Amino acid sequence: MQSNEPKNRWDEMFLRLNISKRLRPTLYGGIIGDAIGVPVEFMRRDTFFVNDMTGYGTYNQPPGTWSDDTSLTLCLIKNILENGTTKELMDKFVAYGESGYCTPYGKMFDIGNTTVESIMKYRRGVSPHECGGTSEMDNGNGAIMRISPLVFLLYTEPDFIKRVGVIKAYTEITHAHPRAIVGSIICIELLLGLYHDHSLQKSLQDIYQAFQENYRENHPYIREIVHFERIFSDDFFNIERSEILSGGYVVHTLEAAIWSFGNSSTFRDAIIKSVNLGADTDTVASITGSLAGMYFKMDEIPEGWLNQIAVKEEVDIIINAFDQCCSDIAVKNA
């Protein structure tokens, strides 16, 4: 009787490779976008042009330096590796602000107002799931910039509502308004669609359909998804650059990132296009980089940019550990 061991071993190798070839470019792509955007953050569109990894500028940081987008993403990855709760994740956010935890050079230089307010609530003893801002003014992009690792926990979960539950839990600790949560759902579901090799257009159509099929018309998420309706329109990628805003509002950030990615033929083009939109350059380019990384894979990421990531050896250790963790989970559940 022939043994199944070689087949199983090959299946395991294929599964691990399949995860790795998506996880690594998604995470590195986000970090690269963040780092290229940092020197020109808050600069007005068409007052500058960036086409490479530069430094100094807005925060006077060396080339390759990444911001809170990457720091808080690394906090999430470490928390997942430690099987941490959202309370322990908030502890990491506190450490980021107070002692430079998960920063390139041991000191925080950037953080969003809504995230700061949620951390302050947490330090006063408020439960993590009650810390997030709930007003319409709390719909910044501070959650969507840090949640991409969730894709690699959710890619085998077939139940949309269960996926939403996880996305909501990790969003509401800082951004609890339904619009911000919908933004996070769109971001993760889009990455999931690309993970499963769906086209950008199909992925967007599937997201819209999932909302319509799972929520009634009076549900808060249905009421909020109308703010994102341009993303789902047939002519979204034909919209003129001048009509794409790129500030910190969650709707504008998602529009800018998806538009930049959808109008580019390479990873490099997507990053350059997104950064040169101006305004919240690091976050727009970070999300663009995650989307483009997932789609174009590692071979398309310029090696020169990859090698310039600040403290890359430390980043590599964290990403390698996360890759191993997600692969182990996938093999165990296969």
The confidence score (pLDDT) of residue 72 equals 98
**231-272 pLDDT per residue, tens:** 999 999 999 999 999 999 999 999 999 999 999 999 999 999
**135-167 pLDDT per residue, tens:** 999 999 999 999 999 999 999 999 999 999 999
68 annotated ligand binder: yes
CA distance 182 to 164: 9
Closest CA to 172 of 130, 142, 223: 130
9-333 maps to which CATH number?
1.10.4080.10
**290-306 pLDDT per residue, tens:** 999 999 999 999 999 99
206 annotated ligand binder: no
The confidence score (pLDDT) of residue 325 equals 96
Answer positive or negative: Cα dihedral of 111, 24, 195, 16.
negative
- pTM confidence score: 0.96
The confidence score (pLDDT) of residue 2 equals 46
283 annotated ligand binder: yes
Q: Is the pLDDT of residue 52 over 50?
A: yes
CA distance 20 to 181: 27
Residues 6+ apart with CB under 8 A from 224: 178, 179, 181, 182
Q: Is the pLDDT of residue 171 over 50?
A: yes
Name the residue ranges covered by the structural domains of the chain.
Answer: 9-333
The confidence score (pLDDT) of residue 17 equals 92
Under a CB-based contact definition with an 8 Å cutoff, are residues 181 and 142 in contact? Answer: no
CA distance 173 to 180: 11
Closest CA to 225 of 174, 266, 259, 189: 189
Surface-to-core class of residue 116, CB atoms within 10 Å of its CB (0-12 exposed, 13-18 middle, 19+ buried): middle
282 annotated ligand binder: yes
